[in-house]
Amino acid sequence: MDPATRQLIEYARYHRDPRNIATHFVGIPLIAFGIAALLARVPMGGAGAVLPGADWLVWGLTAVWYLRLGRASVTLPTIAALGVLVALAHPLGAAPLSSWLSWGLGSFVVGWVFQTVGHVWEGRKPAFFDDLRGLLVGPMFLVAEVLSAAGRQRDLRPLIEAQAGPVRRVTRPSAAR
């Protein structure tokens, strides 16, 4: 089994409630956008340098990490999705200080609120509490979920569910009549 699949299985063990997974579809992109926005203001190499900002440097380093995991059919779309978020956040590096901080910190904080609510519903702590790599596996988990829902990666969901269990059904109490 490739390292990407092992990481996804471990992450999935903390995410079996569909409400928690749903909150991650909002929270993780907001957190990634917020981090990219905050890093976009950090220049690399001094004034007039042709080097990218810290946002693109961190994206490049995470891309290398994803590529080392294998399973390019999941890791490459993850790298692309994060690249889109960095590209969208990058202009904020040149925005006025109040706009930059509002968008960067606001997105980051709101993203973590969504994550927290999801994990309260799940009744489990976030995966990164036990392994910091969970912070990087989260975006890959979302991409894998989207690919699976689109009929791609047909082998991945059974592998994950065999190890982590199926996504639980959320039952609502029936109304009293």
Query: Residue 68 falls within a domain, yes or no?
Result: yes
The answer as to whether 108 is a domain residue is yes
Tally the domains of the chain.
1
Q: Which long-range contacts (CB under 8 A, 24 or more apart) does 130-138 make?
A: 131/10, 133/7, 134/10, 134/11, 134/14, 136/62, 136/65, 136/66, 137/7, 137/8, 137/10, 137/11, 138/11, 138/24, 138/28
Q: Which of 147, 155, 144 is nearest to 15 (CA)?
A: 144
Task: Say how far residue 18 (Cα) sits from the centre of its chain.
Answer: 16
Q: Is residue 177 in some structural domain? A: no
**Interatomic CA distance for residues 128 and 168, integer angstroms:** 21
pLDDT in tens, 122-165: 888 777 777 778 889 999 999 999 999 898 888 888 888 898 88
Is 173 inside a domain boundary?
Answer: no
Give the model confidence (pLDDT) of 75-104 as tens digits.
Answer: 999 999 999 999 999 999 989 999 999 999
pLDDT score recorded for residue 70: 87
Which tens digits make up the pLDDT trace of 1-34? 889 999 999 999 888 899 999 999 999 999 999 9
Q: Locate 8 and state its tokens.
A: 């996804």
- The pLDDT, as a whole number, for residue 37 is 96
Residue 56 lies in domain: 3-43+50-164
Does residue 175 lie within any of the structural domains?
no
Closest-CA residue to 81 (of 147, 16, 140)? 140
Average pLDDT over residues 105-134: 86
173 has a pLDDT exceeding 80: no
Whether 169 maps to a domain, the answer reads: no
Q: pLDDT tens digit string along 34-91?
A: 999 999 998 776 666 666 789 999 999 999 999 999 888 999 999 999 999 999 999 9
